[in-house]
């Protein structure tokens, strides 16, 4: 029943806790030794932390690693993956054979935790600090979902997000950005445990890292505790105190010895990232009175976790009873919560899309903002924000369904003020996508994708639905100059597997770019939007905008004469392509114009369709894009002409910059003539 007290987790005795910790310690050492590759030091040093979390705090469901209200545990120090895999073994997600296959091809225990490959892994981690920032996004998602769907007596969303960090995580700048925002927002259910072993690959961390981490996090608005990371009771007290602190995120600084138990290597960088060696493992086991056999799990430890898994199932069943009562009293709300968590979209959501009249000049950042808002009215789980650029990126949702913005301690909102924190913004967007219940987006100028490349890459690696809106997409930024004019960013995005990059040519193509991004469930989408106005094309004269959903399509046919020249363009350059086509037709030439808003979607089309758009007979191909040529070579062929950028842009009015860079009809006609076409 809703008013019944929650089930409590019975801690093991001190003796059994020590035995569990040593089991984790030597499973990690044996796994790395068998693979002859990996990082035994942190897992051996953090085994008491893992023990306390599993035996006293974590609320999970061994039968369902996607249970909505499970606690999340993120290993930000992803190199310590054998720690996580040992935990997942005890939780019931992995087998002992999985641990024995550590780092082997096709195993469920890869070198770093991979979301989707290993059940129970909440995030792909490896780039240090990334897991911490994604955990901050998960903690924000938990609070937002709780405020949207919890009701009096029915806290159906109230889990914690735990993250284990290492020294390297704190050195990476992204953690400071994410910690700053988490402290500002008062994310009280985010609990970070810092394995402070003072060792990095090159030696003692004092070689390069002497700051006072405790004081830094206190200054950022965190609740900070300092403990012995090998004292199970101290760890348990600290986590309990962190749970009781509801208005601040918590950092538990746990002082540990890296490689604890290895008599000759503990406390040294020699145990950080290489196997202990057979002799050192044997000496460690002998010193701690541990059996010499590999992958030994004492029977009393097995028995404990057999019971523990039953407790976890009972916790889930208790939540099921709570949700059943919630569903009975709030049927529509419960149904919608289950829908958003499943990732399914509302029925008839596409009917919300606007239409833009031909002849209206409007930047795609502006039309994109209107489209996002119309879809946002129908899709309450569409949430996000920008890096202090919403007035420029036009990415504020103004549906009036909730307060305008998420605020410190008040999470009922659609918009997030990320501040000037592109790194944290991208990772927290990934965290929101991982948490579930949201279709998250974030926005900045396209040139600042360089700050966010790792976040887009991991969203793709994890196949998460996240939308990255990049405005000010070319040299047409103009007066802001080369620092703000993206040149190589489009190619960089297209180089990343599983990323779809949309660059619409007008407001109506932008509709289908947004539609595709919202519908897509198997990876991230990047939307490249203009700062400058673009004329909305007359779709009575040109092909319908919905053809954009095929990635590329014939926008303007030959004009009454069999085509001899094929002109392909994206975004703002489509309008230049149409002008060039008109000029060529005045010379009596047959021209076909293709709009190419998304190369990745086009590659998925049937071979017959692709050949129809690009017939083999059309060898004279002209591609226009205000970026570098990389990625277009296959379409250009051996004799094609690329109108793009070979160097950075210039500061000045957009039209003058375009002229200097060769984006004019006369300049392009000159290149065609020079090529002998």
- Read off the pLDDT of residues 551-596 as tens digits, 9 standing for 90 and up: 999 999 876 678 999 999 999 999 999 999 999 999 999 999 999 9
Q: Is the model's pLDDT at 601 over the cut of 50?
A: yes
Who's near 559: CB < 8 A, 6+ residues apart? 581, 585, 590, 591
Who's near 536: CB < 8 A, 6+ residues apart? 356, 357, 358, 359, 360, 361, 362, 506, 507, 508
- CA neighbor of 228 nearest in space, from 249, 253, 261, 206: 253
pLDDT, residue 3, reads 44
Question: Which of 508, 535, 562 is the endpoint of a domain?
Answer: 535
Same domain, 289 and 365: no
Q: Mean pLDDT across the stretch 443-459? A: 97
Question: What are the backbone dihedrals phi and psi of residue 255, each rounded to the nearest 5 degrees, phi first?
Answer: -80, 120
Query: Percentage of residues in the chain with pLDDT exceeding 70?
Result: 98
Question: Which of 535, 561, 585 is the endpoint of a domain?
Answer: 535
Q: Is the model's pLDDT at 477 over the cut of 90?
A: yes
Same domain, 116 and 21: yes
Same domain, 528 and 556: no
Q: Is the model's pLDDT at 2 over the cut of 50?
A: no
The tokens 């860079």 sit on which residue?
Answer: 661
Strands 439-445 and 382-386: parallel
Same domain, 214 and 121: yes
Same domain, 581 and 608: yes
pLDDT, residue 410, reads 96
Catalytic option among 422, 509, 600, 625: 422
Q: What is the CATH number of the domain that holds 615?
A: 3.40.50.920
Reported confidence tier of residue 5, pLDDT bands at 50, 70, 90: very low
Domain-embedded: residue 541? no
Domain-embedded: residue 607? yes
Characterise 438 by phi-psi region: left (phi > 0), alpha (psi -120 to 50), beta (else): beta
Question: Which of 510, 535, 560 is the endpoint of a domain?
Answer: 535
Give the relative orientation of helices 364-378 and 507-519 as an angle to the nearest 10 degrees. Answer: 40
CA Rg, the chain, in Å? 28
Q: To the nearest whole number, what is the mean pLDDT of the chain?
A: 96
pLDDT, residue 558, reads 76
Domain-embedded: residue 60? no
CA angle, residues 267, 271, 273, in degrees to nearest 5: 135
Q: Enter the pTM of the model.
A: 0.96
Same domain, 500 and 531: yes
Is 422 in the active site? yes
Residues β-bridged to residue 546: none
Same domain, 243 and 381: no
DSSP state of 56: I
Same domain, 369 and 233: no
The tokens 């606007």 sit on which residue?
Answer: 354
Same domain, 499 and 384: yes
Output b/e per residue, 127-153; b: 16+ Cβ within 10 A.
Answer: bbbbbbbbbbbbbbbbbbbbbbbbeee
Who's near 3: CB < 8 A, 6+ residues apart? 153
What's the domain range around 488? 349-535
Q: What is the CATH number of the domain that holds 447?
A: 3.40.50.970
Helix (H) or strand (E) holding 492: helix 489-495
387: helix, coil or strand? coil
Helix (H) or strand (E) holding 182: helix 173-185
- What is the distance between the alpha carbons of residues 19 and 594, in angstroms, rounded to a whole number? 67
Domain-embedded: residue 59? no
Domain-embedded: residue 167? yes
- What is the distance between the alpha carbons of residues 600 and 655, in angstroms, rounded to a whole number? 30
Same domain, 409 and 508: yes
- CA neighbor of 110 nearest in space, from 136, 88, 137: 88
Domain-embedded: residue 340? no
Same domain, 600 and 497: no
**Per-residue pLDDT reduced to its tens digit, 312-349:** 999 999 999 999 999 999 999 999 999 999 999 999 99
Domain-embedded: residue 495? yes
**Per-residue pLDDT reduced to its tens digit, 402-425:** 778 999 999 999 999 999 999 999
pLDDT, residue 366, reads 98
Domain-embedded: residue 7? no
- What is the distance between the alpha carbons of residues 29 and 89, in angstroms, rounded to a whole number? 15
pLDDT, residue 417, reads 97
**Per-residue pLDDT reduced to its tens digit, 24-71:** 999 999 999 999 999 999 999 999 999 999 999 999 999 999 999 999
Q: Is the model's pLDDT at 6 over the cut of 60?
A: no
Q: Is the model's pLDDT at 186 over the cut of 60?
A: yes
Same domain, 168 and 199: yes
Question: Based on the structure, what is the number of domains in the chain?
Answer: 3
Residue-level length of the chain:
677
């Amino acid at each position: 029943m809703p008013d019944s007290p929650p089930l409590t987790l019975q801690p093991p005795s001190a003796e059994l806790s020590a035995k569990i910790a040593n089991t984790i310690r030597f499973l990690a050492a044996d796994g790395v030794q068998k693979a002859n590759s990996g990082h035994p030091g942190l897992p051996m040093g953090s085994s008491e932390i893992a023990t306390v979390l599993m035996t006293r705090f974590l609320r999970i469901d061994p039968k369902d690693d996607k249970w909505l209200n499970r606690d999340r545990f993120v290993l930000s120090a992803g190199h310590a993956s054998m720690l996580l895999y040992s935990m997942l073994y005890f939780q019931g997600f992995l087998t002992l054979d999985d641990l024995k296959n550590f780092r082997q091809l096709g195993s469920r225990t890869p070198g770093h935790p991979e979301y989707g490959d290993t059940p129970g892994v909440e995030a792909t981690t490896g780039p240090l600090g990334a897991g911490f920032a994604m955990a901050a996004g998960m903690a924000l998602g938990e609070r937002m979902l709780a405020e949207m769907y919890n009701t009096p007596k029915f806290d159906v969303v109230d889990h914690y997000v735990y993250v284990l960090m290492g020294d390297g995580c704190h050195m990476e700048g992204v953690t400071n950005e994410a910690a700053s925002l988490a402290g500002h927002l008062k994310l009280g259910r985010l609990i970070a445990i810092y394995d402070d072993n003072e060792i990095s690959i090159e030696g003692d961390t004092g070689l390069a890292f002497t700051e006072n981490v405790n004081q830094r996090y206190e200054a950022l608005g965190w609740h900070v505790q300092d403990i012995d990371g090998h004292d199970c009771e101290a760890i348990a007290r600290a986590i309990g105190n962190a749970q009781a602190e509801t208005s601040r995120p918590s950092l538990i600084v746990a002082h540990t010895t890296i490689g604890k138990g290895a008599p000759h290597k503990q406390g040294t960088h020699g145990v950080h990232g290489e196997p202990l060696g057979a002799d050192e493992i044997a000496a460690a086991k002998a010193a701690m009175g541990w059996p010499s056999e590999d992958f030994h799990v004492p029977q009393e430890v097995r028995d404990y976790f057999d019971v523990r898994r039953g407790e976890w199932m009972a916790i889930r069943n208790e939540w099921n009873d709570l949700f059943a009562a919630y569903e009975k009293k709030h049927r529509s709300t419960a149904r919608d919560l289950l829908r958003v968590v499943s990732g399914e979209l509302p029925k008839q959501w596409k009917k919300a899309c606007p239409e833009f009249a031909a002849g209206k000049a409007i930047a795609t950042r502006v039309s994109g903002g209107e489209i996002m808002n119309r879809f946002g009215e129908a899709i309450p789980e569409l949430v996000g924000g920008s890096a202090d650029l919403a007035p420029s990126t036009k990415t504020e949702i103004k549906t009036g369904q909730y307060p305008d913005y998420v605020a410190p301690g008040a999470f009922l909102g659609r918009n997030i003020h990320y501040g000037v924190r592109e790194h944290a913004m991208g990772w927290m967007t990934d965290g929101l996508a991982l948490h579930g219940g949201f279709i998250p987006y974030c926005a900045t100028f396209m040139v600042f994708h360089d700050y966010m490349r790792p976040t887009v890459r991991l969203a793709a690696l994890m196949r998460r639905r996240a939308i990255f809106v990049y405005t000010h997409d070319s040299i047409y930024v103009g007066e802001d100059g080369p620092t703000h004019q993206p040149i190589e960013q489009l190619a960089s995005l297209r180089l990343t597997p599983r990323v779809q990059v949309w660059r619409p040519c007008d407001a109506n193509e932008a509709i289908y770019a947004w539609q595709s991004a919202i519908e897509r469930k198997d990876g991230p989408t990047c939307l490249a939007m203009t700062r400058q106005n673009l004329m909305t094309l007359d779709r009575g004269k040109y092909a319908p905008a919905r053809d954009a959903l095929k990635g590329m399509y014939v926008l303007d046919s030959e004009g009454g004469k069999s085509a001899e020249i094929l002109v392909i363009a994206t975004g703002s350059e489509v309008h230049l392509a149409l002008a060039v086509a008109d000029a060529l037709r005045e010379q009596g030439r047959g021209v076909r114009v293709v709009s190419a808003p998304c190369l990745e979607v086009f590659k998925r089309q049937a071979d017959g369709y692709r050949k129809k758009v690009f017939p083999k007979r059309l060898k004279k191909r002209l591609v226009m894009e205000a970026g570098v040529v990389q990625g277009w070579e296959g379409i250009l062929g051996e004799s094609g002409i690329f109108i793009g950028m070979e160097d950075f842009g210039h500061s000045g009015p957009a039209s003058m910059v375009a002229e200097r860079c060769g984006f004019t009809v006369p300049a392009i006609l000159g290149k065609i003539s020079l090529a002998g076409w």
